[in-house]
Amino acid sequence: MQKNWKDMLVAPTSSIRETVAVIDRLGSRAAFVVDADARLLGLVTDGDLRRGLLRGVSLEAPVTEIMNATPTVFAPSELTSARARELLDTRGFLHLPVVEGGRLVDVIFAESLLAVPKRDNAVFLMAGGFGTRLKPLTETCPKPMLKVGSKPILQIILEGFKEAGFHRFYISTHYLPEVIHQHFGDGSRWGVSIEYVHEAEPLGTAGALGLLPESIGELPMVMMNGDLLTRLDFGGLLDFHVAEGAAATMCLREYSHQVPYGVVRRDGNSLTGIDEKPSLTFHVNAGIYVVGPQVRRAVAASQRIDMPDLLMQQVEVGRKVGTYTLSEYWLDIGKMNDFERAQQDVAGLFGG
């Protein structure tokens, strides 16, 4: 039975007997003590119950007498599926409480995390760029193979997809392809399959689609630049694409820019107002796509084309191109300061 974490909540005034009844009814082996505003006050496990009873605490006593008032909690940004799995496996947690602003907003259950559906859709990772702006780091190493923490960027990406149930990978190479081949091989080390396509000459951000074999199949595939770090829910993205009935879907990211001056509003030559240092928000291309078979076949072998041009061609011939705005962590490692930021972010976000 799928558990609802909200059924595990008890008030601080609840008795130990009432808490035992909640845990027994759900088979959850724990309950969360929250106040009227959903603020997490403590955690009670079946172990806490046993220890309390051995100390002689009455079943009619309030649950606060035996609860753990400082449970391990996590912010939403901290828990990738890979990080959650690691915690569940290595520390024996059965559920991970997610807290934001002091309030309990979610609970991740071990059994639901381990029940990720297998997805046969292919994943196409673009790893052929030169990484010119990251020299000298990229003089002997392709940018996707630069290490963030202890792992190459491309490995972090692949592991994220694997945790979401994907197992079929294609990687496009151009610059120093042997470095990528030697590290990943056929993918068996990660329990996935990997095939490679090689761009003899740079073909743009979409040209490598024309090099993919027909054996890739008819399912829509996820395509992603190999220099991104993200906590995007890849399965959710794919489900959205299918539900929308789109030929392709482009992921978007909100980008805000603050104007460093007062912006003047006027009517002719008359001042009507001044907006001090306003912030302007745009939606930008996040470098992640879902591509259907018709769109893939629209790119000829060795054709040079970029993804924005390919997608606009699809719009012009009447095919639907969807947009999916991601709110999760996302970082394009294009410049040295991005690379340095990734080093700071990786431990909490990717367990690396």
Q: How far apart are CA 129 and CA 341, in angstroms?
A: 20
Distances (CA, A) of 177 to 26, 123, 163, 281, 310: 52, 18, 25, 38, 25
Domain final residue, candidates 113, 135, 168: 113
Q: How far apart are CA 251 and CA 119, in angstroms?
A: 19
Confirm if 165 and 157 have CB atoms less than 8 A apart.
no
- Same domain? For 97 and 203 the reply is no
- Same domain? For 30 and 172 the reply is no
Dump pLDDT digits (tens) for 230-246: 989 898 899 999 999 99
- Same domain? For 165 and 46 the reply is no
Q: How far apart are CA 219 and CA 291, in angstroms?
A: 9
- Same domain? For 164 and 282 the reply is yes
Total domains present in the chain? 2
- Same domain? For 123 and 107 the reply is no
Q: Which residue has the higher pLDDT, 85 or 131?
A: 131
- Same domain? For 186 and 326 the reply is yes
What's the pLDDT at 1? 42
Q: Helices 81-90 & 153-163, crossing angle to 10 degrees?
A: 80
- Same domain? For 235 and 154 the reply is yes
DSSP state of 204: T
- What residue numbers bound the domain in which 151 lies? 119-350
- Same domain? For 219 and 274 the reply is yes
Q: Does residue 78 register a pLDDT over 70?
A: no
- Spell out where the chain has E strands: 9-10, 30-34, 40-45, 95-100, 103-109, 119-126, 147-148, 151-152, 166-173, 193-198, 221-225, 228-230, 248-258, 262-267, 270-276, 279-291, 321-325, 330-332
Q: Does residue 94 register a pLDDT over 70?
A: yes
Average pLDDT over residues 24-32: 83
Domain final residue, candidates 113, 130, 154: 113
- Same domain? For 247 and 346 the reply is yes
- Same domain? For 263 and 129 the reply is yes
Residue 56 sits in a domain whose CATH number is 3.10.580.10
Average pLDDT over residues 116-138: 90
- Same domain? For 229 and 189 the reply is yes
- Same domain? For 132 and 257 the reply is yes
Which 3 state secondary structure label does DSSP give 129?
A: coil
Average pLDDT over residues 321-350: 87
% of the chain residues with pLDDT over 70: 92
Domain final residue, candidates 82, 113, 144: 113
Dump pLDDT digits (tens) for 150-203: 899 999 999 999 988 899 999 999 999 999 999 999 999 988 999 999 999 999
Residue 268 sits in a domain whose CATH number is 3.90.550.10
What's the pLDDT at 83? 65
Confirm if 85 and 113 have CB atoms less than 8 A apart.
yes
Instruction: Tell me the pLDDT band of 27, cut-offs 50, 70 and 90.
Output: confident
